[in-house]
Amino acid sequence: MREPVTACIALGANLGDARQTVLQSMQAIGRIAGCKLLVSSRLYRTAPFQAKGPDFVNAVVLIETNLTAPGLLTALQVLEQAAGRERPFLNAPRTLDLDILLYGAGRIDSPDLTVPHPRMMARAFVLYPLADVRPDSVSLQDLQRVQAQAIEVMA
Protein backbone atom coordinates (compact mmCIF):
# COMPACT_ATOMS: atom_id res chain seq x y z
CA MET A 1 0.00 0.00 0.00
CA ARG A 2 1.19 3.53 -0.83
CA GLU A 3 2.33 5.86 1.93
CA PRO A 4 -0.35 8.56 2.38
CA VAL A 5 0.38 12.10 1.23
CA THR A 6 -1.46 15.34 1.86
CA ALA A 7 -3.00 17.12 -1.09
CA CYS A 8 -4.82 20.42 -1.53
CA ILE A 9 -7.77 20.57 -3.89
CA ALA A 10 -9.47 23.74 -5.11
CA LEU A 11 -13.23 23.70 -5.61
CA GLY A 12 -15.22 26.20 -7.65
CA ALA A 13 -18.70 26.50 -9.11
CA ASN A 14 -20.81 29.24 -10.67
CA LEU A 15 -23.81 27.47 -12.18
CA GLY A 16 -26.87 26.12 -10.38
CA ASP A 17 -26.74 26.16 -6.58
CA ALA A 18 -22.99 26.74 -6.52
CA ARG A 19 -22.76 27.07 -2.73
CA GLN A 20 -24.52 23.75 -2.14
CA THR A 21 -22.52 22.04 -4.88
CA VAL A 22 -19.22 23.12 -3.31
CA LEU A 23 -20.33 22.06 0.18
CA GLN A 24 -21.51 18.66 -1.06
CA SER A 25 -18.35 18.20 -3.11
CA MET A 26 -16.15 18.84 -0.07
CA GLN A 27 -17.83 15.90 1.63
CA ALA A 28 -17.76 13.78 -1.53
CA ILE A 29 -13.99 14.23 -1.81
CA GLY A 30 -13.66 12.82 1.70
CA ARG A 31 -15.67 9.76 0.62
CA ILE A 32 -13.38 8.88 -2.31
CA ALA A 33 -11.78 5.52 -1.57
CA GLY A 34 -8.26 6.19 -0.37
CA CYS A 35 -8.97 9.79 0.67
CA LYS A 36 -9.58 11.35 4.07
CA LEU A 37 -10.84 14.93 4.41
CA LEU A 38 -8.65 16.74 6.95
CA VAL A 39 -9.88 20.34 6.80
CA SER A 40 -12.03 22.60 4.63
CA SER A 41 -11.61 26.31 4.03
CA ARG A 42 -14.30 28.91 4.36
CA LEU A 43 -16.39 29.59 1.26
CA TYR A 44 -15.47 32.61 -0.83
CA ARG A 45 -17.43 34.52 -3.46
CA THR A 46 -15.44 35.84 -6.41
CA ALA A 47 -16.17 37.42 -9.74
CA PRO A 48 -15.18 35.22 -12.68
CA PHE A 49 -11.44 35.51 -13.34
CA GLN A 50 -10.55 35.44 -17.03
CA ALA A 51 -14.04 34.06 -17.60
CA LYS A 52 -17.68 35.12 -17.89
CA GLY A 53 -20.84 34.22 -16.05
CA PRO A 54 -22.18 34.51 -12.50
CA ASP A 55 -19.95 34.88 -9.45
CA PHE A 56 -18.09 31.79 -8.29
CA VAL A 57 -18.17 30.03 -4.96
CA ASN A 58 -14.64 28.83 -4.17
CA ALA A 59 -12.99 26.76 -1.45
CA VAL A 60 -9.99 24.51 -0.82
CA VAL A 61 -9.80 21.22 1.04
CA LEU A 62 -6.79 19.52 2.54
CA ILE A 63 -6.92 15.74 2.27
CA GLU A 64 -4.77 12.77 3.05
CA THR A 65 -4.68 10.20 0.26
CA ASN A 66 -2.91 7.04 -0.76
CA LEU A 67 -4.02 7.51 -4.37
CA THR A 68 -1.45 8.49 -6.95
CA ALA A 69 -1.83 12.01 -8.29
CA PRO A 70 -3.23 10.71 -11.63
CA GLY A 71 -5.59 8.42 -9.69
CA LEU A 72 -6.79 11.36 -7.59
CA LEU A 73 -7.30 13.44 -10.73
CA THR A 74 -9.43 10.68 -12.25
CA ALA A 75 -11.56 10.43 -9.08
CA LEU A 76 -12.06 14.21 -9.04
CA GLN A 77 -13.10 14.20 -12.69
CA VAL A 78 -15.75 11.59 -11.85
CA LEU A 79 -17.16 14.01 -9.25
CA GLU A 80 -17.13 16.85 -11.79
CA GLN A 81 -19.02 14.73 -14.30
CA ALA A 82 -21.55 13.66 -11.67
CA ALA A 83 -22.18 17.37 -11.00
CA GLY A 84 -22.89 17.93 -14.71
CA ARG A 85 -19.55 19.51 -15.65
CA GLU A 86 -19.28 20.38 -19.31
CA ARG A 87 -16.31 21.92 -21.11
CA PRO A 88 -17.79 23.64 -24.18
CA PHE A 89 -14.96 26.23 -24.31
CA LEU A 90 -11.98 27.44 -22.27
CA ASN A 91 -13.02 29.00 -18.94
CA ALA A 92 -16.71 28.28 -19.55
CA PRO A 93 -19.08 28.68 -16.58
CA ARG A 94 -19.21 25.43 -14.65
CA THR A 95 -21.29 23.42 -12.25
CA LEU A 96 -18.11 22.19 -10.56
CA ASP A 97 -14.38 22.62 -11.08
CA LEU A 98 -11.88 20.58 -9.03
CA ASP A 99 -8.14 21.20 -9.32
CA ILE A 100 -5.23 19.54 -7.55
CA LEU A 101 -3.17 22.43 -6.24
CA LEU A 102 -0.56 20.53 -4.24
CA TYR A 103 0.24 16.85 -3.93
CA GLY A 104 2.66 16.36 -1.06
CA ALA A 105 5.98 17.91 -2.02
CA GLY A 106 5.58 16.44 -5.48
CA ARG A 107 6.22 18.16 -8.77
CA ILE A 108 4.35 16.78 -11.75
CA ASP A 109 4.47 18.04 -15.32
CA SER A 110 2.48 15.84 -17.65
CA PRO A 111 0.00 16.55 -20.44
CA ASP A 112 -2.87 15.81 -18.02
CA LEU A 113 -1.62 17.25 -14.73
CA THR A 114 0.74 19.94 -13.49
CA VAL A 115 1.46 20.17 -9.75
CA PRO A 116 1.87 22.56 -8.08
CA HIS A 117 -0.98 24.12 -10.04
CA PRO A 118 0.73 26.50 -12.48
CA ARG A 119 -1.58 29.50 -11.97
CA MET A 120 -2.50 29.19 -8.30
CA MET A 121 -0.17 31.95 -7.10
CA ALA A 122 -1.89 34.49 -9.38
CA ARG A 123 -5.44 33.83 -8.19
CA ALA A 124 -7.05 35.27 -5.08
CA PHE A 125 -9.82 32.66 -5.29
CA VAL A 126 -7.17 29.99 -4.71
CA LEU A 127 -4.76 31.73 -2.34
CA TYR A 128 -7.26 32.92 0.28
CA PRO A 129 -8.92 29.53 0.82
CA LEU A 130 -5.52 27.80 0.57
CA ALA A 131 -4.31 30.04 3.39
CA ASP A 132 -7.25 28.80 5.49
CA VAL A 133 -6.20 25.14 5.22
CA ARG A 134 -2.44 25.39 4.79
CA PRO A 135 -1.21 28.82 5.89
CA ASP A 136 2.45 27.83 5.46
CA SER A 137 1.84 27.66 1.68
CA VAL A 138 0.74 31.29 1.30
CA SER A 139 2.78 34.34 2.28
CA LEU A 140 1.62 37.88 2.96
CA GLN A 141 3.39 38.89 -0.25
CA ASP A 142 1.38 36.29 -2.18
CA LEU A 143 -1.87 37.78 -0.86
CA GLN A 144 -0.70 41.34 -1.56
CA ARG A 145 0.04 40.38 -5.16
CA VAL A 146 -3.63 39.45 -5.74
CA GLN A 147 -5.27 42.11 -3.56
CA ALA A 148 -6.85 43.86 -6.55
CA GLN A 149 -8.96 40.76 -7.28
CA ALA A 150 -12.36 41.04 -5.59
CA ILE A 151 -13.02 38.29 -3.07
CA GLU A 152 -15.30 38.00 -0.05
CA VAL A 153 -15.90 35.42 2.64
CA MET A 154 -19.42 34.01 2.45
CA ALA A 155 -21.58 33.82 5.55
Cβ neighbours for 91, distance < 8 A, ≥ 6 positions apart: 48, 50, 51, 52
CB atoms within 10 A of CB 14: 24
Rounded to the nearest 10 degrees, how much is the dihedral formed by the CA atoms of 18, 151, 143, 102?
0
Tell me how far CA of residue 25 lies from CA of 13, 20, 72, 147, 149, in angstroms: 10, 8, 14, 27, 25
Residues recorded for the chain: 155
Catalytic site positions: 85, 94, 97, 99
Tell me how far CA of residue 136 lies from CA of 36, 39, 130, 147, in angstroms: 20, 14, 9, 19
